[in-house]
Amino acid sequence: MIEAVGLTKRYGAKTAVYNLSFQVRPGHVTGFLGPNGSGKSTTMRMILGLDRPTSGHVTIGGHPFRQLPNAPRQVGALLDAKAVHGGRSARSHLLSLAQLAGIPAQRVDEVLGVVGLQDVAKRRSKGFSLGMGQRLGIAAALLGDPQVLLFDEPVNGLDPEGILWVRNLMKKLAAEGRTVFVSSHLMSEMALTADHLIVIGRGQLLADMSVKDFISANSADFARVRTPHTEPQQREKLTTVLTEAGGQVMPEPDGALRVTGLPLPRISDLAHDADVRLWELSPHQASLEEAYMRMTQGAVDYRSTDDRLAHLQPPMPPHQLPQPPQYVVPEVPQQGWYAPPPPGQNPYAAPQNPQHPQNPQAQGPNTEDAR
């Protein structure tokens, strides 16, 4: 059980974490989410007593970490896969930690086996890949067989097999009744691993709820409706009808409609009454990724800009004016199920690309890439 109350950390003028209160309960995998620089690692360091909070406090099992009796036997942590002395072999590294915590030396070989590093145990960790480093860090966290485990970005650099292994390991550790607190920015991974989520942005708590509640609270489920593209007036007609019935209708770039606020059977009834044929009527539930993006979009510190290479473009000859950039329909994150195209034609392609009627190949959605 980890309990934070009013946790605040300032570095000079910058506030890394502000008034953060949460509980991490045993028996669950608790995901700790937030954009880069949102204060996840700072919070983890404060939990482990490495950084002193400016105000507030955090306890593990009722004690601050540095006052815990037998701290390494109660808490294990992976903070940074590179936090090892590169000149030391994996086994010596773990042995020194085991000796420091009063853990029998045979436990070292046990955890090396658990993380699958037994064959490289004698090699210096300088030559380890990021994935191997993560495994070594996880081994160090498991060394004391503790009941509280903290992992900061444990799947960074792991291969798919390793990611699956970490996922199952977290679940197994939680099922044994341990407290498992995992930070990550891989939403899809958290959706599969975590039971509970704590989301922070700019150092403040944004959400503290179960994964299921988080998704339904932060995403609007919608229905995708497609009318025959050969009859655009049907689409307009349906839009009017649905709006009058109280739904919100948003056109999608490929001609479909995104309808919220109306259940699927009602959409079907309304279309039938209006004498509009439907080619698609499908339910869509937003993924955790989308729910997370929606929640944290205001709290992102590091946002990329377009790389225009403005200074590096060769100057244009004066008579040859640059082409005005073609308007590109913004990509909408596509998820859920799509009807396969009927054999012989692509229903999404035909009415589009009016700019290239002379190009016989300008049919598919990949035209932009193919050029």
- Give the burial class of 331: count Cβ atoms within 10 A of its Cβ; 0-12 exposed, 13-18 middle, 19 or more buried: exposed
* Count of residues in contact with another protein, rule CB under 8 A: 53
Residue pair 256/224 in contact (Cβ under 8 Å)? The answer is yes
Binding to another protein by residue 27, rule CB under 8 A?
yes
103 sits near another protein (criterion: CB under 8 A): yes
Token pair 């002193």 is at which residue? 52
Q: Is 29 in the site for another protein (CB under 8 A)?
A: no
Residue 26 CB, shortest distance to another protein, in Å, is 5
Cα of first residue to Cα of last residue in the chain, in angstroms, is 56
CA dihedral 91, 95, 98, 102 (to 10 degrees): 160
Per-residue x/- mask for another protein, residues 46 to 85, rule CB under 8 A? --xxxxx--------x---xx-xxxxxxxxxx-xx-xxxx
Q: Given candidates 140, 187, 205, 257, which one binds another protein under the rule CB under 8 A?
A: 140
Burial degree of 139 (CB within 10 A; 0-12, 13-18, 19+): buried
Among 15, 19, 107, 237, binds another protein (CB under 8 A): 107
Q: How far apart are CB 70 and another protein at their closest, in Å?
A: 6
Task: Give the shortest CB-133-to-another protein separation in angstroms.
Answer: 11
In this structure, the strands spanning 148-152 and 222-226 are: unpaired
Cα–Cα distance measured from residue 151 to residue 170, given in angstroms and rounded to the nearest whole number: 10
Token look-up 């109660």 returns: 74
Instruction: Select from 196, 192, 190 the least CA-distant residue to 214.
Output: 196
Q: Does 22 bind another protein (CB under 8 A)?
A: no
Q: Which of 89, 118, 285, 287 binds another protein (CB under 8 A)?
A: 89
Under the binding rule (CB under 8 A), the answer on residue 157 touching another protein is no
Which amino acid appears at position 368 of this protein?
E
Residue ranges in 239-278 that form contacts with another protein under rule CB under 8 A: none
Rule CB under 8 A: choose which of 6, 100, 336, 365 binds another protein. 100
What residues numbered 322-351 form the site for another protein, per CB under 8 A?
Answer: none
In the bound state with another protein, the residue whose beta carbon lies nearer, of 147 and 296, is 147
Residue (31 or 76) nearer to another protein, CB? 76
Half-sphere exposure of 46 (CA within 13 A, CB side): 28
In angstroms, what is the minimal distance from the CB of 62 to another protein? 9
Specify the stretch interacting with another protein by CB under 8 A; choose among 88-96, 192-200, 252-260, 334-342: 88-96
Write the DSSP string, 281-318.
EEEE---HHHHHHHHHGGG-S--------TTTSPPPPT
Rg (CA), the chain: 27
Residue type, 114: V
Query: Is 135 one of the binding residues for another protein (CB under 8 A)?
Result: no
- Please enumerate in sequence order all residues whose Cβ is within 8 A of that of 303, keeping only pairs 6 or more positions apart, or say none: none
Output DSSP code: residue 124: B
Min CB(40)–another protein separation in Å: 15
CB of 201 to another protein, least distance (A): 23
Binds another protein (CB under 8 A): choice among 30, 38, 43, 147: 147
Which residues in this chain contact another protein in the complex, by CB under 8 A? 1, 26-27, 45, 48-52, 61, 65-66, 68-77, 79-80, 82-89, 92-93, 95-97, 99-104, 107, 140, 143-147, 176-178
